[in-house]
Amino acid sequence: MSTDRPAFADAGQAQRESIALACRVLANRGLADGILGHISLRISETELLVRCRGPQERGLAYTAASDIHLVDLDGNPAGAGELDGGYSVPNELPLHTEVLRRRPDIRAVVHAHPSRTVAADLAGLAVRPIVGAYDIPGTRLAAGGVPVYPRGVLVRNRQLAAEMLEAMGDRPVVVLRGHGITSAAATVEQAVLQAISIDGLAALALQVSAAGGELMDLPEADMAELPDLGGSFNTGTAWRHELARLGSGV
């Protein structure tokens, strides 16, 4: 391991493969249909791996490790051969880098375009803890609040990213109105699973509303009874399931 990166793993093939798989999970779950969306992973204080645009762009569902490149916080190549062959960083790289600059607890950032989450927000339906054991991590996430950045803009510079961060505060997920979501976590897997939970809650809210029902938060007594099933289940087992879905074509 490089001596100037004591807290981080080297930016090797394993990390690139994990980000590529995570991009494909997003697409498989319908959170990043088409060519829009990207995932990043902090490698050092000043470098990150990020899904880049390639000369043969095919969309998130077909992301390969070769699409993941090491750049600095300004989007410059941070290694020999990075961004060669016609690759370029996402237009919304500042969305990632501003989170990493301001949130030292964060290592991974996911930006996706889940249509159900966008639709629920536009319909005036906030992401709320409307379920219980149906999705315990998602319920706890919603109970803490899911803020909304109210501008439907491309977050393509540090000023707009700073606005997004102001709306996001210290929360792990923010909805971008008329646009998508940003999910941030300590790991790529956790950031993606957060996004899946948020979209699932948004979908339920749309269904309840369409059926003429009224959204109600889980009672405090029920919330208090929800156990913490632990990271090995909430993240480890859940992530193995997502990867198995990829292999099965679900």
Query: Mean pLDDT across the chain, nearest whole number?
Result: 93
3-state secondary structure (DSSP) of residue 140: helix
Question: What is the fold of 13-235?
Answer: L-fuculose-1-phosphate Aldolase (3.40.225)
DSSP track, 73-106: TTS-B-STTTTGGG-B--TTHHHHHHHHHH-TT-
DSSP 164-194: HHHHHTT-SEEEETTTEEEEEESSHHHHHHH
Please give the positions annotated as active site: 92
* pLDDT above 50 for 64: yes
Contact 164, 182 (CB under 8 A): yes
Predicted confidence at residue 25, as pLDDT, reads 98
Q: Pairing relation of β-strands 108-112 and 38-42?
A: antiparallel
The domain limits of the chain are: 13-235
Residue 170 burial by Cβ neighbours in a 10 Å radius (0-12, 13-18, 19+):
exposed
Q: How does pLDDT run across 68-104, given as a tens digit for each residue?
A: 999 999 999 999 999 999 999 999 999 999 999 999 9
In the predicted structure, residue 10 carries a pLDDT above the cut 80 = no
- Secondary structure (3-state) at 197: helix
